[in-house]
A and B are shown apart, each in its own frame.
Chain A
Amino acid sequence: MGPEDLISRRNFLARALQAGLTGTLVAGGGILFYDPDGPMPPVVQAVSLPDFSISGIKKQLCIVHGPDRKKSLRSAFQALGGMESFIRPKDRVLIKVNAAFATPPQLGATTHPELVSETVRMCIESGAAYVAVTDNPINDPQSCFELTGIGPAARQAGARVILPDPGAFAPLTVPNARLIRNWPVMVGPFEGITRVIGMAPVKDHHRSGASMTLKNWYGLLGGRRNIFHQDIHTIIQELSIMIRPSLVILDGVAAMVRNGPTGGSFSDLRRTDTLIVGTDPVAVDAVGASLLQRSLDQLPFLEKAEAAGAGTVNYESLNPIRITAG
């Protein structure tokens, strides 16, 4: 072995440094990514929705008779002391409509676009800083919002339309609830919201008896929500305390008396010419039940919601204002 085969000191140091650095990097990387425990069972940070009911005012209910939705709506709020008593300047309002099906508005399976646009306008007139309209429909969301006319109506009136996207859902637990425990709920649109309005049509519903403002909150549920049909009255009861709206608007101008909740034919509708606005969803739905000529016995979810503290089925106790519009 001649001296030319020997590595020079300088070379040795350089190569030793190189090897050392590489070793350090590899070891450092290994330590950085070291995971001694492996995957843990998921920890669910369940969120909850704030109470949006308006504090400091007593429960109110207005029943308007008339065929014109816009006029009825204006008259109702006039009788209740104006939209200003519900929506304050700078309020951020979320309107939960029923846009479950991709059917035209005339068929009454979804919230009527005229009501949506008029409510949005009135909110903005009262100084609302932001109005959004949302739902997580059963049919294709985009088709639903376009075909029902709700999307265009809301946008035209100045509201934002929020379609469901996977990021909007978070696991939610209703206190003391049996069904809504860590269940994905569309809470995204509620971010920064100060007032919530529920808007639904009066519809027949074969499983629950009727679909009105309480059943409408079903549309906030995500995941495999269909399984809750196994206990429909309890899920509506839990929904009634999961979300406490500022007010609800129930459209009973043309009630879907059969073949609900999809309808699909004009013969499924009956003119009942009634619009109900109130701060107690249970009372509002109880009025709606009378439009469908259904007794409380046929709609167990109403008394269950009352028992949970969501409102009262005895709507006469709220001294409803009855007026005729148009």
Chain B
Amino acid sequence: MDMRVVRRICQIFFLALFLWLCAVMTLGTGWRQLRGWPVNWFLQIDPLVGLGTLLSTGRLYAGMIWSLAVVCMTLAFGRFFCGWVCPLGTCQQAAGYAGRRTRSLAGKVAVNQYHGAQNLKYWILAALAAAAAGSGMFQGMMHVPWLVAVIVCIAIGYFRGVSAFYLGVGLMLFWALVAGFQKIAPGFLQIGLLDPICLMQRFVNFVMLPLVDGGIVDMYPGNRFYALGWFSAAMVGFAVAASVRIPRFYCRYVCPLGALFGLISQASLWTLFRKNVQCRKCRVCEKDCEGACEPSDRFRVSECVLCLNCMASCPDDEIRFGIASGRPLPIDLERRRLLGAVVLGVAAGPVSRLDPLNAAAWNPELVRPPGSLDEAEFLSRCVKCGQCVRICPTNVIQPAGIEYGFSRWATPVLNFRAGASGCQLNCIACGHLCPTAAIRPLGLDEKKTLRIGTAFVDWGRCLPWAMDRPCIVCQETCPVSPKAISTRIHFSFLDLGPLAVEAVDAAGIHLKESVLPPDQLATGDYYCVTGQDVYLRILANTDRLLVLEDSGVQHPVSEDPIRIAIRLQRPVVDPNRCIGCGICQHECPVRGKPAICVTAENESRHRSHALLISEPQSGQP
């Protein structure tokens, strides 16, 4: 059987699996909803996510251990992931196939030539890894295993050649440099920007699913909205479109995950190789070479994505997959450029953190999902995969734009106007799904007392405060018990002035002048205030007659003028009880710029954002 058929089936299977796992990521118990489906699987088998978080935190969180299996398989077979599993690779391969179908043989061969710029992806990887490690190395030094790992690296570098030795020393020096930046330089994890799995997760979650939702199947009641979805679409769109002219453009030049696999594949056991060193150089093998790995020349194992097209197209059946004798062609990473990339990466974190947004001028609009670690630690873990954004049942978690700082792009932030409601009191989905524990998994009891922010009433916009209109929708919808929003009763006198009384009888109070708006005061909220300061609810009225409730109090017999007041309940937030869920903000009838808004004040994850003089006992006022 032609192995290419197996490979194609495999690619289609994993692409379908990827889409399926995105589609089932919907809260619910149905078979096509989140019900034990391993929806994080692709992220967890992604060694770049594993390596990145390992470098930035010194830990390999839970499911990320799966990535070791892929590393082991790469050590055995090379970049099988790129050619057989990666969904972005499959999409690019399809585009590349379509793009070169009508080309001549020479044209096909021409687009598949190795290019020196394919080294770019290694430098990107070096920069991203160095950025992630910038602080991780420092924090990690506190741990003996990390120290041992550094020593082992240097030792290997020494025995394998001077360049690696220098590299190790260089890294150590940069660690020393970054250590000086400790105050402003916790982990700078940006691998999610370019990691193909994160890229595809964002694309499918933020763009594809919201577009197809409601077509054949309903995945949500109502629509889904995602901030900056277009940018995710543009990135994947560009990678696929570029592949029409340059097959697997992204894999060859950009992909840091491909670069990581390329490095690992240097040690892989099985590779593609030619039986005889001499061939007739017909280059037919290069007409469909996905990786541009020069099968007719030196077989760059680090570029080969195991598409196996060369094997099938060689007229002399010269190409084999097996254990070759001799070392694979080493990658020439051009030491100075590599060093440059590392310097760039290590410097990027501290430089970006010079922004006061990362210090005293933190953005109060940045309300993170419940369970998010403190901001520095959060950023050293979040890979921008968008899983929390996808699972959120109310769509209140949105990918952040760059208004929170460039390094926070596509990280989750709560937008209480975009969602279908606020953060639900009994929902802990995001933390349980987060593949890297940037949002740690919470229990329901903890969730109910964990503050993600505090609601503030804007007296200038609130109807009962500013406009003498009853409302208190915020108080009604506040989900905590006892409610975090209480009300203060206030009687506001109407702009009618004291009204002279003509007579008082069984029917009610007759006024001297016809000044009342007929039937408008019978809503149950208006009161007649007598000369003796007695408040009586108005049951009905004409332009001069007021019918009042029978309160057991004598109606005013004197001719003291009366006044009309509206009874208002004005909302007041108790910051001890408010957890910042934002349901009040979402329900506030002042929709555009709500009269009650949640900001990150008093959020539990930062003691420095505390608002109150004492920490309340959990659940207690």
Residue positions of A touching B, CB distance < 8 A: 101-104, 138-143, 146-147, 163-166, 205-207, 224, 226-227, 229-234, 258-259, 261-265, 267-268, 297, 300-301, 303-304
Contacts and interface: CB of A to CB of B under 8 A. Distances in A.
A288 to B, nearest CB: 18
Contacts of B76: none
Interface in B409-462: 420-421, 424-427
Contact of B28 (A146, A207, A227, A265): A146
Contact of B472 (A142, A164, A229): A229
Given A165-B221, A229-B472, A265-B481, A138 B421 contact: yes
A238 to B, nearest CB: 12
Given A142-B220, A205-B476, A262-B477, A103 B524 contact: no
B427 A102 contact: yes
A140 B222 CA distance: 10
Given A207-B569, A297-B549, A264 B479 contact: yes
12 contacts: A139-B421, A142-B220, A146-B29, A207-B473, A226-B588, A232-B470, A233-B524, A234-B523, A262-B477, A263-B481, A300-B537, A304-B522
Which of B424, B463, B480, B583 has the most C-beta atoms of chain A within 10 angstroms of its own C-beta?
Answer: B424
B23 to A, nearest CB: 16
Contacts of B477: 138, 262
Interface string B562-590: 00000001000000000000010001110
A139 B549 contact: no
Contacts of B475: 206-207
Which of A101, A142, A265, A304 has the most chain B CB atoms closer than 10 A to its own CB? A142
Contacts of A104: 426
Contacts of A268: 481
Contact of A143 (B27, B523, B525): B27
A261 B476 contact: yes
Contacts of A304: 522, 524
B176 to A, nearest CB: 51
A264 to B, nearest CB: 3
B32 interface: no
Given A143-B393, A206-B475, A226-B473, A102 B481 contact: no
Interface string B14-51: 00000000000001110000000000000000000000
B103 interface: no
B220 A138 contact: no
B421 A297 contact: no
Contacts of B487: 206
Contacts of A207: 470-473, 475-476, 569
Given A142-B393, A231-B523, A264-B479, A206 B472 contact: yes
B266 to A, nearest CB: 50
A229 B481 contact: no
Q: Place the interface of chain B in its size category.
A: 35 or more
Given A206-B475, A231-B525, A297 B589 contact: no
Nearest to A303: B539
B79 to A, nearest CB: 42
B482 interface: yes
B485 to A, nearest CB: 9
B490 interface: no
A262 B581 CA distance: 14
A103 B479 contact: yes
A325 to B, nearest CB: 30
Given A140-B424, A163-B221, A297-B551, A227 B483 contact: no
B298 interface: no
B427 A143 contact: yes
B338 to A, nearest CB: 50
A262 B220 contact: no
B482 A265 contact: yes
A262 B537 contact: no
A101 B479 CA distance: 8
Given A143-B427, A231-B523, A138 B587 contact: yes
B213 to A, nearest CB: 12
Contacts of A265: 481-482
A219 to B, nearest CB: 13
A166 B222 CA distance: 8
A146 B426 CA distance: 12
Nearest to A165: B221
A234 B480 CA distance: 28
B54 interface: no
Contacts of A205: 476
A139 B222 CA distance: 13
Nearest to A138: B477
A166 B97 CA distance: 42
Contacts of B480: 264
B59 interface: no
- A-B interface, 5 closest residue pairs, ranked by CB to CB distance from nearest: A264-B481, A300-B524, A265-B481, A233-B524, A226-B589
Nearest to B540: A307
B478 interface: yes
Contacts of B275: none
Interface string B212-239: 0000000011100000000000000000
Residue of A104, A143, A147 contacting most chain B CB atoms (<10 Å): A143
A233 B549 CA distance: 15
B531 to A, nearest CB: 22
Contacts of B29: 146
A163 B393 CA distance: 14
Query: Which of B471, B475, B523 counts the most A-chain CB atoms under 10 A from its CB?
Result: B523
Contacts of B4: none
B609 interface: no
A100 to B, nearest CB: 9
A21 B517 CA distance: 68
B469 interface: yes
B418 to A, nearest CB: 13
B335 interface: no
B425 A264 contact: yes
A103 B583 CA distance: 14
Contacts of B143: none
B606 interface: no
Contacts of A233: 523-525
A164 B223 CA distance: 12
Contacts of B524: 232-234, 300-301, 304
Contacts of A163: 221
A102 B425 contact: yes
A183 to B, nearest CB: 14
A146 B523 CA distance: 36
A143 B221 CA distance: 10
Nearest to B469: A230
Given A163-B221, A262-B478, A262-B479, 4 more contacts: A141-B221, A142-B28, A164-B221, A229-B473
A224 B471 CA distance: 13
B591 interface: yes
Contacts of B469: 230
B353 to A, nearest CB: 36
B28 A230 contact: no
A258 B482 CA distance: 9
A259 B475 CA distance: 9
Contacts of A227: 589
A130 to B, nearest CB: 21
B135 interface: no
A250 to B, nearest CB: 20
Nearest to A299: B524
A301 B463 CA distance: 21
Nearest to B427: A143
B394 interface: yes
Contacts of B478: 262
Contacts of A101: 479
Nearest to A137: B421
B444 to A, nearest CB: 10
B589 A224 contact: yes
Nearest to B487: A206
Contacts of A165: 221-222
A243 B481 CA distance: 32
